[in-house]
Amino acid sequence: MAYQTTNPFDGKTSATFPECDAATLEAKLQQASDCFDQWRTTAFAERTAVLAKAAAILRERPDEFASLITLEMGKLIAQSRGEVALCAAILDYYAQHAEGFLAPETLPTQSGTAVVESAPIGVLFGVEPWNFPYYQIARFAAPNLMAGNVVMVKHASNVPQCALAFERLLHEAGAPAGAYTNLFISKDQVAQVIDDPRIRGVALTGSEAAGAVVAARAGHNLKKTTMELGGSDAFIVLEDADLERAVKGAIQGRMGNAGQACTASKRFIVVEALADQFLEQFQAALASFKPGNPMDKDTTLAPLCSEDALGHLLQQVRRAVEGGARVVSGGGRADHAGAFMQPTILTDIDPANPAYKEEFFGPVALFFRVPDEDAAIALANDSPFGLGGSVFSSDIDRAKRVASRIETGMVFINRPASSAPDLPFGGIKNSGYGRELSGAGIQEFVNKKLIRVA
């Protein structure tokens, strides 16, 4: 597995990093284990100081961190700065609230006393993706470090400089050696780390296939896991929706990060009364996106993360068309050097088409028209995924009722899916299990220990 920086805008490889050898990996595992013995008893005030300092560094030097995101995976520079700001907010959030989240809970009993304490469980291993190179690891590392665990992270092979930058950030902020460890390791070494008895929990954000392999390996070792996997979020537009707001939300939901987000809006389900108007305006808005250098603030269409990602997406579109789908707009490679995909709309997708059940990780929108609310809900739920979703309606109570009927982990009303430190993040079905962020995220890898006095 080659860890290297290849700019998806110009295809140039500027840095390569070797994988850990066996001795180095063993030394890192032992260092993390030794650090846990110290970190678990470190006062909340000291842990807070580390995370607060890391947040302050991100805010002081945003371009230093943001430019690496854009260099390695092609995100528009303004969006990269936004990701850095979100990471700072996550670090601050857990620095401020972790002690309260983990405070002992007294239980009512008929006699004596009963208290549940929250204790760290040990060294945790995270396998993280490239699409949000800092955010993905911040939401794993911040709550668990504040809980007294220590973390080791195998990041995606195409964002190695981001991986190293986050490790340096925490060390600069005062985290002891071994509290946060970056690992450049092979697939075989991933299995070795999961098997290692010093690892007590495993978290993965990534594809269904990767989740199945990692969860099976961890399960064989009786280790707790959380899985945040893919999504094919429904974006429901009811007939009483504010059309302008819905189209604006659709553009934000589909085109953020060039569509490379698990919670991106992917299936646009519009009630017949608004379908033609919505499609016309949606198509016109997508046509305005122009490819260019993602470091340029005027660029509106970023490249995909790699040529391989672009090739996979083009293949999905071809299969969809062969299965009967109609290309409303786009459908091919953008006329620009680099890994650029035209913003694309596909429609006439029936359940037998492979596109009906797939996740499109890029700027490809699947458009469906339905007769009414019930049909919209049925179509939204007819998916192997269940991560996020959106409902647009001028009647908030109605939108809430629809949201309650959608089988997914998160629903957003009159806006596309988003993330914030105080909102739980996670899904159901093939989108995984467990939650990150908010008070829920810090509870995943702690021992809820009962202490009972008779």
What is the number of H-type helices and E-type strands within the chain? 14, 20
Q: What percentage of the chain exceeds 90 in pLDDT?
A: 99
Q: Is 162 noted as a catalytic residue in this protein?
A: no
- Give the domain 3-229+431-453 fold: Aldehyde Dehydrogenase; Chain A, domain 1 (3.40.605)
For the beta sheet containing 326-329, the strands, ordered from the edge strand earlier in sequence to the opposite edge, are 326-329, 344-347, 364-370, 265-271, 233-237, 389-392, 412-413
Per DSSP, 425 falls in state B
Please tell me which residue in 83, 262, 359, 436 is annotated as part of the active site. Answer: 262
The arithmetic mean of pLDDT across residues 231-243, rounded, is 98
Q: How far apart are CA 301 and CA 304, in angstroms?
A: 9
Distance of CA 214 to the CA centre of its chain: 17
- Give the DSSP per-residue string, 363-379: SEEEEEEESSHHHHHHH
Please state, rounded to an integer, the average pLDDT across all residues of the chain. Answer: 98
Query: Checking DSSP bridges between strand 233-237 and strand 389-392, what pairing results, if any?
Result: parallel
Asked if 244 and 221 touch (Cβ cutoff 8 Å), the reply is no
Asked if 1 and 157 touch (Cβ cutoff 8 Å), the reply is yes
- Give the domain 233-420 fold: Aldehyde Dehydrogenase; Chain A, domain 2 (3.40.309)
Q: How far apart are CA 13 and CA 4, in angstroms?
A: 7
Asked if 48 and 146 touch (Cβ cutoff 8 Å), the reply is yes
Q: Which two tokens stand for residue 94?
A: 């857990």
Backbone angles phi, psi at 166, to 5 degrees: -70, -40
Q: How far apart are CA 134 and CA 80, in angstroms?
A: 10
Backbone angles phi, psi at 269, to 5 degrees: -110, 110
Mind listing the pLDDT tens digit for each residue in 128-145?
A: 999 999 999 999 999 999
CATH 3.40.605.10 domain position(s) in the chain: 3-229+431-453
Backbone angles phi, psi at 9, to 5 degrees: -75, -45
Mind listing the pLDDT tens digit for each residue in 345-399?
A: 999 999 999 999 999 999 999 999 999 999 999 999 999 999 999 999 999 999 9
CATH 3.40.309.10 domain position(s) in the chain: 233-420
Mind listing the pLDDT tens digit for each residue in 39-86?
A: 999 999 999 999 999 999 999 999 999 999 999 999 999 999 999 999
Q: How far apart are CA 215 and CA 65, in angstroms?
A: 31
Please tell me which residue in 72, 228, 358, 444 is annotated as part of the active site. Answer: 228
Give the pLDDT of residue 413: 98
The arithmetic mean of pLDDT across residues 3-26, rounded, is 97
Mind listing the pLDDT tens digit for each residue in 255-303?
A: 999 999 999 999 999 999 999 999 999 999 999 999 999 999 999 999 9
The arithmetic mean of pLDDT across residues 414-437, rounded, is 98
Q: How far apart are CA 284 and CA 277, in angstroms?
A: 11
Q: Is 19 noted as a catalytic residue in this protein?
A: no
Mind listing the pLDDT tens digit for each residue in 252-265?
A: 999 999 999 999 99
Q: How far apart are CA 432 and CA 442, in angstroms?
A: 17
Give the pLDDT of residue 210: 96
Q: Measured on CA atoms in the order 62, 67, 68, 74, is the torsion positive or negative?
A: positive
Give the pLDDT of residue 1: 67
Work out the widest C-alpha separation in the chain, in whole angstroms.
75
Three-state secondary structure call for residue 105? strand
Q: How far apart are CA 341 and CA 147, in angstroms?
A: 42
The pTM (predicted TM-score) of the whole model is 0.97
